[in-house]
Chains A and B, each alone.
Chain A
Amino acid sequence: MTPPRPGAGAARDRTEPGTGSTGLTPAGLTQGAGATKGGIGESTLRPDGVLKVTGEFAYASDLWHEDMLWGYTLRSPVAHARIVSVDTSQALATPGVYAVLTYDDLPAEAKHYGLEIRDTPVLAHGKVRHHGEPVALVAADHPETARRAAAKIQVEYEELPVITDEASATGPGAALVHEHRTDHYAGHVPHPNVLHRQPVIRGDADAAAARADAIVTGEYVFGMQDQAFLGPESGLAVPAEDGGVDLYVATQWLHSDLRQIAPVLGLPEDKVRMTLSGVGGAFGGREDLSMQIHGCLLALRTGKPVKIVYNRFESFFGHVHRHPARLWYEHGATKDGKLTHVRARIVLDGGAYASSSPAVVGNAASLGVGPYVVHDVDVEALALYTNNPPCGAMRGFGAVQACFAYEAQMDRLAAELGLDPVEFRQRNAMEQGSVMPTGQVVDAPAPVAELLRRVKARPLPPERQWETSEGPDVRALPGGLSNTTHGEGVVRGVGYAVGIKNVGFSEGFDDYSTARVRMEVIGGEPVVTVHTAMAEVGQGGVTVHAQIARTELGVTAVTIQPADTRVGSAGSTSASRQTYLTGGAVKQACEAVRERVLALGRRRFGSHHPAWATAELVLEDGKVVTDGGEALAALADVLGDEAVDVELEFRHRPTEPFDLRTGQGNGHVQYSFAAHRAVVEVDTELGLVKVIELACAQDVGKALNPLSVQGQIQGGTTQGLGIAVMEEIVVDPLTAKVRNPSFTDYLIPTILDTPTIPVDILELADHHAPYGLRGAGEAPTLSATPAVLAAIRQATGRALNRVPVRPEHLTGP
């Protein structure tokens, strides 16, 4: 038997197009018009699908190397403490232990890392700022040896008071989470425990409020959600003879990792070679580093390959979570149902380290009003430094929290005005040409009213589906298999919501991706190779890249190279951006390859046929073809022994930072919209919820792979359902310690909790984007949560201002 080897995980196998023969392609979608089979618009199958169903696909935790050691991380048992002393002598003396490292062993000048602000120590120094912060590392010959040795490391902590919320962070005499901030946000924040603050002010909210016939205010609480990707943080670091290190790891952004890793190792970037291993889901949780530096440090110290695999308990401490938030909103409207103004204050808990908090603040502030036209807006969003677990990226960040609150407000205001909640939203819905509260003009389709119309027009699922000839089917009832009701107390509710999410990195970030495309003849047939550093985390980017290459280059056989740092950055697999950015880079590189192939053709065959000079030429089915359909030459003949190889960078149009006082600015690249209708049945006596159906309508601009788009929408919807009714990392407010770091008590939806999710896909092209596509991954996570909440409110008549909703919120006084 052969143990898996590093690098075996990427979808590097030559892929052939295959279309599902299941008839699962949704009706009403334009299929790819290109003649080459397996191009864009088709539901081609994943190139890594077969490897994944046979168990051969090598995820980061599957990697193995001769003679490898196991790394283990000792973490802080308390949230905030001064480290008085660390004694590693007993651990080092343990047989089978090869290295024990603390802060004092760090080899380089740089000892901190971070996505934007380098505020996170590689290992704690002087104090710990959150529960589970890494303090020491062990490398040993077996995971149990490493654990036992780590247990012998003696760390003396002197506990400090914990900062857990806005009052303890910014109140008089508050201790500082970071004493000497020098980051570029430090200058404008009102308090050193405020990480970043962004107001968005437009018009005159005070004056507009005076014109309102109805005003509603509300305060909302959003719990801390975990990405709960199933593949735990893992990687294998292999020391190299040149003094460098090869790192095989599950991540979302290889080059961002590299920029953070190399300095603290004291190595130039070209001596840290990274390859993406199989990634078991991400959802934002792998944008920050976890074991990367630790594994490399241990490998370089011991001279041996080191594998680190977190277990689920450690995983809850090994990555950032979704920011919990407190949101205060005031909405006003005239009696004809037009919004007059919105005032809001959004306080996000960033936890102990910055991670992507600044961008989360920017999103919450700029998207805090939702997909509505409001002329007079006064919003501020801020993130706190606290001793709670660090929070950062998770699907839809910043926009998710706001959407829960503003959609609750829209329902309340509709009720106040006596209007249908969908009708009220439609009257205020933005459309192409509308102006955002940031002053940015929405210059692409924004079918907000239409999305709502579509979900509302769907027939409602039948009532009382639990009734069978053999009695109640508990699987279809609230409580499920637990047999809590046979129909007693069950009330149905229906709710609607819609949301807006930005696509891509905003606020002036130089967001680009790199693709290298090569065409050559192998075995007499033209073959295209696509090489990018895009992290395939399950979203299907590898599928789409092959489709793009087929469409643009008319070649069936496409090889997707493993993602690594031998090619330029692809940017992050996040922010719904990869199909736009890396897809765009692949498309542009293909276009450049095509031009060079045609030039080659003209040189070789131009004299044979006048069309080489006069006609529009395309590549189709392995041939150069005129726009009239006449084949001029086989690509194999055009290329001969030559390979055409292009690497280039692709950028979306530039954005600009938001003004720090007013929030004005063209900060976003593209907007993405989805709407949901939730149908729930609530056991009103026990407070248990069964979601019956969660229908989604979303505009994706262009569905490059309809099957994958549906999968994104259904998956995103389910994560929105999870935060609505069950998911929450519970942090003890007195100790700032995580109380439920396990899948026993952090619950994500099972197949019995997840309803049917009908998906209605619109394709209104955004002409700024490749193929007119619109980033699709995040929008469904926004509106699912408020739609479910609205449905539960309708069933129970309760106000429900916090998620997740717990049974006691539905039954208590």
Chain B
Amino acid sequence: MRVTFTVNGRRQEADDVWEGESLLYVLRERLGLPGSKNACEQGECGSCTVRLDGDLVCSCLVAAGQAEGRDVRTVEGLAAEDGTLSPVQRAFVDAGAVQCGFCTPGLLVAADDLLARNPSPSDGDIREALSGNLCRCTGYEKILDAVRLAAARTAGTVDA
């Protein structure tokens, strides 16, 4: 089947999609957008997190056909057109929240979503909001640091 939807503001089309394919597969293998990651493909790790019509979802659990006509935002769409990193992206690099980096795209999309809804989250809020994103490298401490840092920079309470 053919699937047409918008990714990061651009209309995209994929042909000959097998009906059992996930949105994740179409993004990665058909549209050349492998930033969303394939760690578990069962909704238990959050590495494939994207926004679907604004909602944070696991793209591995969205059937390709369900994305028809929808608006998808992936990690590739976080930075500005000129390549300037978004506050969470910058903070993840600066705080040492990236090791192997496989969980990073999903965490960035989730953290970006959190800060959009709640610009000054408590540690408890951060932990609850990121509880669907597994990281095996960092022990999460630097990830918490990064989200705090992004929030503080956005609020202007620390220097960017």
Contacts and interface: CB of A to CB of B under 8 A. Distances in A.
Nearest to B25: A143
A62 B45 CA distance: 18
Contact of A309 (B38, B102, B124, B130): B38
Given A22-B145, A481-B131, A743-B42, A718 B139 contact: yes
B34 A743 contact: no
B38 A54 contact: no
Contact of A20 (B42, B95, B99, B144): B95
Given A24-B96, A280-B101, A715-B139, A232 B39 contact: yes
Contact of A62 (B28, B130, B133): B28
Contacts of A473: 124
Nearest to B99: A538
9 contacts: A45-B93, A53-B90, A54-B76, A59-B34, A230-B45, A280-B102, A481-B128, A481-B131, A711-B96
By size class, the interface of chain B is 35 or more
A206 to B, nearest CB: 44
Interface in B98-128: 98-105, 108, 124, 126-128
B142 A55 contact: no
B66 interface: no
Interface in A260-315: 278-283, 309, 311-312
A56 B105 CA distance: 10
Interface in A708-744: 708, 710-711, 714-719, 742-744
B101 A4 contact: no
A165 interface: no
A278 B37 CA distance: 12
Interface in B66-85: 74-76, 78-79, 85
A605 interface: no
Contacts of A231: 37, 39, 100, 102
B11 to A, nearest CB: 12
Given A230-B102, A473-B124, A711-B138, 19 more contacts: A1-B32, A2-B32, A22-B94, A45-B93, A49-B93, A52-B101, A142-B18, A280-B39, A311-B38, A476-B124, A481-B131, A537-B100, A710-B96, A714-B142, A715-B139, A751-B135, A751-B140, A754-B141, A757-B139
A2 B94 CA distance: 28
Contacts of B124: 473, 475-476
Given A48-B101, A142-B18, A53 B89 contact: yes
A24 B145 contact: yes
A539 B99 contact: yes
Nearest to A694: B139
Interface string A217-240: 000000000011111100000000
A707 interface: yes
Given A46-B93, A55-B105, A752-B127, A144 B20 contact: yes
A232 B38 contact: yes
A157 interface: no
A374 interface: no
A280 B37 contact: yes
Contacts of B101: 48-49, 52-53, 57, 278, 280, 538
B139 A312 contact: no
The 8 closest A-B pairs by CB, nearest first: A55-B35, A538-B100, A280-B102, A52-B101, A714-B139, A743-B44, A718-B139, A62-B34
Nearest to A43: B96
A312 B40 contact: yes
Interface residues of A, number: 71
Interface string A297-335: 000000000000101100000000000000000000000
B35 to A, nearest CB: 2
B49 to A, nearest CB: 12
Contact of A53 (B92, B127, B141): B92
Interface of A: 1-4, 20-22, 24, 43, 45-46, 48-50, 52-59, 61-62, 64, 142, 144, 227-232, 278-283, 309, 311-312, 473, 475-476, 480-481, 537-540, 707-708, 710-711, 714-719, 742-744, 748, 750-752, 754, 756-757
Contact of B18 (A1, A56, A144, A281): A144
Contacts of A716: 139
A674 to B, nearest CB: 13
Contacts of A710: 96, 141-142
B36 interface: yes
Nearest to B74: A55
A45 B143 CA distance: 15
A142 to B, nearest CB: 6
A230 B42 CA distance: 13
B136 A748 contact: yes
Nearest to B28: A62
Given A1-B33, A54-B75, A711 B137 contact: yes
Given A228-B136, A230-B37, A231-B39, A715 B102 contact: no
A756 B75 CA distance: 28
B143 A751 contact: yes
Contacts of B94: 20-22, 45
Given A45-B93, A473-B124, A54 B102 contact: no
A711 B99 contact: yes
A751 B130 CA distance: 7
Contacts of A475: 124, 127-128
B29 interface: yes
Nearest to B102: A280
Nearest to B75: A55
B32 A3 contact: yes
A754 B100 contact: no
A788 B96 CA distance: 26
B34 A50 contact: no
Contact of B39 (A312, A708, A718): A312
A718 to B, nearest CB: 4
B93 A50 contact: yes
B31 interface: yes
Contacts of B79: 54
B32 A714 contact: no
Contacts of B100: 229-231, 279-282, 537-538
A137 B134 CA distance: 31
B60 to A, nearest CB: 10
Nearest to A68: B29
A33 B45 CA distance: 42
Contacts of A64: 29, 32, 34
B102 A714 contact: no
A744 B96 contact: no
A280 B45 CA distance: 13
Nearest to B35: A55
A48 B100 CA distance: 10
A279 B32 CA distance: 19
Contacts of A714: 138-142
B151 to A, nearest CB: 13
A53 B98 contact: yes
A716 B139 CA distance: 8
B145 to A, nearest CB: 6
B15 interface: no
B90 to A, nearest CB: 8
A777 B64 CA distance: 41
B149 interface: yes
Contacts of A48: 101
A50 B28 CA distance: 19
A232 B102 CA distance: 10
A319 B44 CA distance: 20
Given A229-B136, A279-B100, A59 B37 contact: yes
B120 to A, nearest CB: 17
A102 B43 CA distance: 33
B134 A230 contact: yes
A796 to B, nearest CB: 25
A551 to B, nearest CB: 20
A480 B79 CA distance: 34
A228 B89 CA distance: 25
A48 B128 CA distance: 28
Nearest to B29: A64
Nearest to A746: B44
